[in-house]
Amino acid sequence: MARTDTSRPIALVTGASRGIGKAVAIELGRTHHILVGGRDAEAVDAVVAQLPSAEPYVADLVADLTGKSLPALPERLDVLVHSAGVEGGGTIEETDAEVWRHVFEVNVFAVAALTRRALPALRAAEGIVVSINSGSGLASGPGGGVYAGSKFALRALTDALREEERPNGVRVSSIHPGRVDTDMQRALVAREGHTYDTTYTITPEMVAATVRTAVDLPRSGTVESLSIRPHHRR
């Protein structure tokens, strides 16, 4: 059951039904009213039930980039965390246009569309936008061009948004995790043909802690870009 504490600042977290997004929702849920974003209503409701003040925000952000059929946003929004994302593609030679389109729609186009809709509420609250990017948004390698390409584009979007919204009091942060212990990471490692070993990953909670740092920084400062990587490397 949704519970609302009107005294709390409001945070919308996309992709909050699992993985990094869920960890961010739980972490920010200690102090914020959370709009738990996701496509699966049952999974979203399960996260809502764990939080002291939360409600579902069930939406397919890619299916409606205009936002006309999506749930309404509040008049004031203190935090917007873009955590929803997909990993896909292989070498440039073997990846067709449909895969490229899907990865960019989820990782870039949907982020841009939701941000555009949320800007009036973010400006009203002098809020913060946090994009969960990736180490792949800083460097690419063989077989990673599709995913990294989308994350490079997300970094460009975030950098531009930061400067555009600076006069409006909206802060913009870009978080770049390395390999994180999530279902997506397990699928990636399996495709790479490696044995999965959490020694070479960080936890979703570690990423959530960096989001907390960005959110809690006094408004006179901004965590513009932050990279968090596993200590051990293969």
Is 181 a domain residue? yes
How many independent structural domains does the chain possess?
Answer: 1
Q: Is residue 68 part of a domain?
A: yes
pLDDT at 190 over 80: no
What pLDDT score was predicted for residue 199? Answer: 82
pLDDT averaged over every residue in the chain: 94
Q: Is residue 176 predicted with pLDDT exceeding 60?
A: yes
- Strand order from edge to edge, sheet including 225-228: 54-58, 33-38, 10-13, 79-82, 128-132, 171-177, 225-228
Which one from 57, 147, 196, 200 is the annotated catalytic residue? 147
155's CB contacts (< 8 A; 6+ apart) are 133, 137, 138, 174
Residue 213 lies inside a defined structural domain of this protein: yes
Active site residue 147: yes
Q: Which domain, by its residues, includes 145?
A: 10-228
pLDDT at residue number 1: 57
Taking the C-alpha atoms of residue 20 and residue 132, their distance in angstroms, rounded to an integer, is 9
- 3-class secondary structure per residue, 94-133: CCCHHHHHHHHHHHHHHHHHHHHHHHHHHHHHCCEEEEEC
CATH number of the CATH domain containing 207: 3.40.50.720
Q: Is residue 3 part of a domain?
A: no
**Any domain includes 171:** yes
Average pLDDT over residues 113-117: 98
Does residue 194 register a pLDDT over 80?
A: no
> CB 117: neighbour CB atoms within 10 A?
18
2: in domain: no
Residue with tokens 């990736």: 134
Indicate whether 170 pLDDT > 90.
yes
Residue 4 falls inside a structural domain: no
In a domain, 78, yes or no: yes
